[in-house]
Amino acid sequence: MTGSIPLIGAVGAATGLVLGVTGAGGSVLMLPALVLLLGLGPHEAVAGSLLAVGASALAGAVSHARDGHLRLGAAAVFAAAGGLAALIGGHFGRLVPGRPLMIAFGVLMLLVAWRSFRAAPGPAPGGPAGRPVLAAWGAGVGLLSGFLGIGGGFLVVPALAGPGGLTARDAIGTALAVIAINAAAGLAGSLARLGSLPWATLLPFVAGSLAGGYLGGRLAARWPERRLRLAFALLVGAVGVVMLVRWIPAG
Per-residue pLDDT at 126? 43
Per-residue pLDDT at 132? 80
Assess whether pLDDT exceeds 80 at residue 212. yes
**Among residues 16, 15, 43, which one has the least CA distance to residue 29?**
15
Higher pLDDT, 24 or 100: 100
Over the chain, what is the mean pLDDT?
Answer: 77
Per-residue pLDDT at 224? 67
- C-beta separation of 37 from 11 below 8 A: yes
CA–CA distance, 245 with 161 (Å, rounded to integer)? 35
Higher pLDDT, 44 or 24: 44
CA–CA distance, 50 with 19 (Å, rounded to integer)? 13
Three-state secondary structure call for residue 197 = coil
Assess whether pLDDT exceeds 50 at residue 127. no
Q: What is the DSSP string of 123-137?
A: PPSS-PPPHHHHHHH
CA–CA distance, 77 with 54 (Å, rounded to integer)? 18
Per-residue pLDDT at 23? 62
- C-beta separation of 61 from 180 below 8 A: yes
CA–CA distance, 189 with 77 (Å, rounded to integer)? 21
Assess whether pLDDT exceeds 80 at residue 41. yes
Higher pLDDT, 180 or 144: 180
CA–CA distance, 176 with 25 (Å, rounded to integer)? 11
Per-residue pLDDT at 79? 81
Assess whether pLDDT exceeds 60 at residue 136. yes
Per-residue pLDDT at 123? 43
Per-residue pLDDT at 124? 43
Higher pLDDT, 155 or 68: 68
First to last CA, the chain: 24
195: buried, middle or exposed (CB in 10 Å: 19+, 13-18, 0-12)?
exposed
Half-sphere exposure of 246 (CA within 13 A, CB side): 21
CA–CA distance, 162 with 171 (Å, rounded to integer)? 9
Higher pLDDT, 180 or 90: 180
Q: What are the tens digits of pLDDT across the range 222-249?
A: 766 666 667 667 777 887 888 888 888 7
